[in-house]
Amino acid sequence: MNKIQPVTFGPKHHFFGFHDLCPWDISGRYMLAMETDFIDRPPKAGDKAKICLIDLENNNKLEVLAETDAWNFHQGCRAQWLPNDPEKIIYNDRRSNKFISVVFDVKNRKEINVLKCPIYAISPKGDFGLGLNFARLKRYGGYGYAGEVEEPESDGIFMVDFVSGTTNLIIPVENGHILTHIAFNPGGSRICFIDKYRLPDGGFLQRLITANPDGADLYVLPSHASHFDWKSDTEILVYGKFSPKITAFRKMGAFRIPILKPILYFVRKMRGLIKQKIAGQSYFLLKDKTQNVERVAVGLMTEDGHPQFSSDGKWVITDTYPDKNHERTLILYDWENKKRINLGEFYSLPHRKSLANYHSDESWDISEMRSDLHPRWNRSGTQACIDSVHEGTRQIYIAQIDNSFAA
């Protein structure tokens, strides 16, 4: 734990968001962060969060750049650096009753462009992005934004051209489905996303689908997926379920039968190696446009988490959800040597003084307000950062990753 230190501090709360983005700029000196006054309830329409810049070489000095009215505790406002212009960022906001995205010049501290569609992911070249309807995500059980807004007539994944500002629907969504967790492969030649929809037994199925960046050549991969990261342009590391017979059984609605419902409840409550063996849950390495399924780290990493590869592909950093003692584990996995290293455990509940409007410890761990670690690498693979509440307020911490971990 001595190698894991905070870079933001209370009394206000700070976090970055999901595991699929890098908060560091290309120089490694600056990090993006969000700042809020509360963590004890979900954000409502009109609740502003501040977008901040942390100067890691100046005593972690924190400066507010802008505000946003389009955010949540898990993914923030999707603030990210533009790959082709390292002094600019893009983030989501709400203007004139619509969710939009804003291009901001960090060097000159000014807003320079407003795009008509909120952004989820940016192509590696930085010339366009892919966006979603965050109001739909909120309504149907995804990481969306609160408040009634004017929604697009057609819905799905949109391509947003950063030069012309034009927005086009490239992958339409079916009724009852939500599309989310879009990620480009390293070369920008393919995207991957999750198609989430409800099953007859009340649960969800989350299909992992790949496509060209223009929406063509869609391919459904074989595993139910919760979280993933591209290992290469053709390989994807996924945590999910691969149990075709059980999936087919659920699609037929078999678990709606009263005598079988307790079985489904029991499976959902299982954890660790038992769940790997019975429910087929584990990390998998999938190959794009094939039905190949290779189990990874069986018996070593037995819990769902948020994986991200280091830039050289030698390490995976991931985490776990809270256990029965409300502890989350930060994990480093040596890909070549198949070795797991626990970097630390972090209590998942903040102190009572931070929870003026919240009264149930038991449900905090699965609530909208929970603070998943969401580990994220820096660009050189020497550090990773997490969001955590273990010291009472929600803050960002940096872990130093060096050769001593592999000893």
What is the domain partition of the chain in residue ranges? 20-178, 185-293, 306-407
- Please tell me the pTM assigned to this model: 0.91
Q: What are 111's two structure tokens?
A: 């807003």
At the top level of CATH, which class does the domain 20-178 belong to?
Answer: mainly beta
Statement: residue 250 has pLDDT above 80: no
pLDDT digits (tens, 9 = 90+) for 279-311: 578 999 999 999 999 999 999 999 999 999 999
For 209-221, what is each residue's pLDDT tens digit?
Answer: 999 999 999 999 9
Residue 148: pLDDT band with limits 50, 70, 90 = confident
Q: Which whole number is the average pLDDT over 175-203? A: 92
DSSP per position, 40-101: SS---TT--EEEEEEETTTTTEEEEEEEESS-BTTTBT--EEETTEEEEEEEEEEETTEEEE
**Cβ contacts of 97-103, under 8 Å, gap ≥ 24:** 97/148, 97/149, 97/150, 98/149, 98/150, 99/70, 99/133, 99/134, 99/135, 99/145, 99/149, 101/129, 101/131, 101/160, 102/66, 103/162
